[in-house]
Every structure is written in C-alpha cells, then in structure tokens.
C-alpha cells in the first residue's frame, strides 16, 4: 500500500464519516502502526477502522457520497461483517462492524484458506469489482503479477459477462475452503475511547491502547512480525470452524 495514497484515503474517509456523525476508531494493523511506529506498517495492505454494527447504514451513506463526490473511489461492499472500500489505485479501507453481546464486542468472518485456488479466487474477485468505465493501468494495481494478468484477461469482457462471472466466483469462493472465525473483544476497550494524532489528524483509539494491543497481538506487540496472520494469530479469536475444500 503506497503511503501517500493511503494518507489521502485516510483523511477523506475520516471527513466523510465525521459528516455522518459516525463514531469510529483505528483498529488492527492501522492502530498498531500508529501507536508503535507513528505511521502505516510498510507491509500492511489496507486501512482499518472499527465501529458498532448499528452504524452500518451511516457508514454506507458516507462512502457512497465519497464515490459520488471524489474521483477514484470505486467500490463499497458489505462482507464478513465488515464494510470494504476500494479505490481505483488499489487502496483499501475496512470498517469492521462489531456487535455487542453481553460484555463482548464480537464479529464473525470467513477468510479463504491460503491455497492456490483460494488466492486465485480472491484476486479474481478483486479484479471483477473494478467497474468497466474506470480507466486503470494494470501496473497501478496494488497486487501481485497474477492479478495484473487477470485484469488484462477480464477487462475486454462485456459488462454482462463480467457480472455473471463475478456471481459464479463469489458462489465458489463461499463454498470451498472457507474457515468461520469468531473474535470477541472485551467491549470496554471500544466504549472508552481517547484520541491520538495520526498523519496530522485526530483519530479515536481505545483508551487502554497498550492493553488492547497486548490482548490482540500478545505482550510482544512492539516487535514487528511480517508473518502475522489475522485469522490464525489474533489472540481475540475465540472460535474457528474449519471447512474442508
């Protein structure tokens, strides 16, 4: 993820959410990078916010207005209890929607296993999400070589074919090799927020920031780990249901 493009999206998304009066906070790797490094983690591939599921309609409204008013914002989708926002230069922003259950903030999601088939389907879904009218050079995609080639192959297809292919890919994606993962975070982390300055703007974060990061990443959260896998290593995971391909 290119830092300059990510900073622009960060500020635009914040402005849009603030206009809709959405309370949100930095989460996951974005929070970790902000606290530990004072910047985005170099190998992260998205920006992460968190909010309550009750705010979902306002989040959608904010992002739709961004698509209408700002060049380059191309897709909003609701997937895995997370609203995903993708720009034409490949910058991603995920807004995780937490549901309050007792004293916990919970979320379920279904990551694809890291098999060749799973990765291919993931890349193909990303490519098919780019509307035909967007003029985009494959080299501008934040993606590996295989995605650039998928982009070149699928781009000339008629819109109706692309839509049908996207439906098929989505169905297959959901049926093979998916794991159901549930995370649960003590809700007090998200109910008591403070703020930090991040790239020149004030963002809300859990007030017990150090404790929250230790809860998710372990006591050694200050030590960078490139091999950290969000659906395996997150210490807030309480359940994993493996579905064999």
11-39 tens-digit pLDDT: 999 999 999 999 999 999 999 999 999 99
Pull the structure tokens for residue 34.
């902000």
Predicted pLDDT at 177: 58
Helix axes 3-19, 56-69, angle to 10 degrees: 120
- Please tell me the distance from the alpha carbon of residue 237 to that of residue 233, in angstroms, as a whole number: 8
Estimate to the nearest angstrom the gap between the alpha carbon of 225 and the chain centroid.
19
pTM of the model: 0.76
Select from 32, 57, 56 the least CA-distant residue to 46. Answer: 32
CATH class of 3-98+187-228: alpha beta
- Please tell me the distance from the alpha carbon of residue 76 to that of residue 178, in angstroms, as a whole number: 22
Select from 68, 61, 72, 62 the least CA-distant residue to 17. Answer: 62
> What does the domain layout of the chain look like in residue ranges?
3-98+187-228, 114-177
Give the model confidence (pLDDT) of 164-209 as tens digits.
888 888 778 767 655 678 999 999 999 999 999 999 999 999 999 9
Give the model confidence (pLDDT) of 89-119 as tens digits.
778 899 999 999 999 999 988 776 666 777 7
């Amino acid at each position: 993820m290119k830092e300059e493009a990510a900073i622009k999206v960060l500020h635009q998304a914040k402005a849009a959410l603030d206009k809709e009066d959405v309370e949100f906070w930095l989460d996951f790797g974005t929070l970790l990078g902000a606290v530990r490094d004072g910047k985005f983690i170099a190998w992260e591939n998205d920006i992460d916010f968190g909010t309550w599921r009750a705010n979902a309609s306002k989040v959608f409204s904010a992002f739709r207005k961004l698509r209408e008013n700002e060049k380059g914002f191309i897709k909003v989708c609701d997937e895995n209890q997370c609203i995903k926002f993708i720009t034409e230069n490949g910058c991603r922003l995920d807004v995780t929607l937490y549901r309050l259950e007792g004293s916990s903030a919970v979320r379920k999601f279904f990551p694809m296993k890291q098999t060749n088939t799973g990765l291919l389907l993931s890349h193909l879904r990303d490519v098919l999400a780019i509307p035909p009218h967007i003029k985009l050079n494959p080299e501008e995609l934040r993606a590996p070589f295989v995605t650039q080639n998928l982009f070149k192959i699928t781009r000339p297809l008629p819109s109706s074919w692309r839509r049908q292919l996207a439906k098929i890919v989505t169905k297959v994606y959901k049926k093979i090799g998916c794991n159901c993962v549930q995370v649960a975070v003590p809700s007090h982390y998200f109910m008591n927020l403070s703020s930090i300055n991040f790239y020149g703007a004030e963002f809300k974060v859990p007030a017990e920031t150090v404790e929250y990061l230790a809860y998710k990443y372990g006591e050694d959260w200050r030590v960078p780990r490139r091999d950290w896998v969000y659906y395996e290593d997150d210490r807030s995971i309480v359940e994993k249901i493996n579905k064999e391909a």
